[in-house]
Amino acid sequence: MNKMNNVLSCARFQAQLPELIGSGEGAGGHLHLQNCTNCRALISDLQSIADAARRLFPVEDPPDELWEEIQMAIDEERADAHPG
Amino acid sequence: MSDLNSLTYSSSPAPNKSYEGDGFPNGRSLQAATLPLQNDLITLAQAGDHQAFAELYSLHKRRVYSLCLRMVGNVAAAEDLTQEAFLQLHRKIGTFRGEASFSTWLHRIAVNVVLMDLRKKGLQASSLDEAMEPDADSQRPGRSFGAADLTLSGTIDRLALQRAIADLPAGYRLMFVLHDIEGFEHNEIASMVGCSIGTSKSQLHKARMKLRDALRLHPEQEKRR
Return the domain boundaries, chain A: 3-59
Q: What local confidence, expressed as pLDDT, does residue A18 receive?
A: 80
Q: What is the mean pLDDT of residues A17-31?
A: 69
Q: What local confidence, expressed as pLDDT, does residue B151 receive?
A: 55
Find which of A3, A32, A33, A42 to mutate to test the B interface (most B CBs within 10 Å of its CB).
Answer: A42
Contact B62 A62 (CB under 8 A): yes
Q: ipTM greater than 0.95, yes or no?
A: no
Residues of chain B contacting residue A57, judged by C-beta atoms under 8 Å apart: 66, 69-70, 181
What is the residue-averaged pLDDT of chain A?
81
Query: Is A33 a residue whose pLDDT tops 80?
Result: yes
CA separation (Å) from A42 to A6, A17, A36? 15, 11, 10
pTM of the model: 0.73
CA separation (Å) from B79 to A46, B20, B194? 30, 18, 24
Residues of chain A numbered 46-65 and touching chain B (CB < 8 Å): 46, 48-50, 52-54, 56-57, 59-64
- Please report, in angstroms and rounded to a whole number, the separation of the first and last CA atoms in chain B: 53
CA separation (Å) from B89 to B64, B65, B92, B104? 11, 14, 5, 12
What are the per-10-residue average pLDDT scores of chain B (225 residues)?
A: 32 47 44 71 95 96 93 91 98 92 92 88 53 48 46 74 90 90 88 88 91 76 49
Give helix then strand counts, H and E, for chain A.
Answer: 3, 0
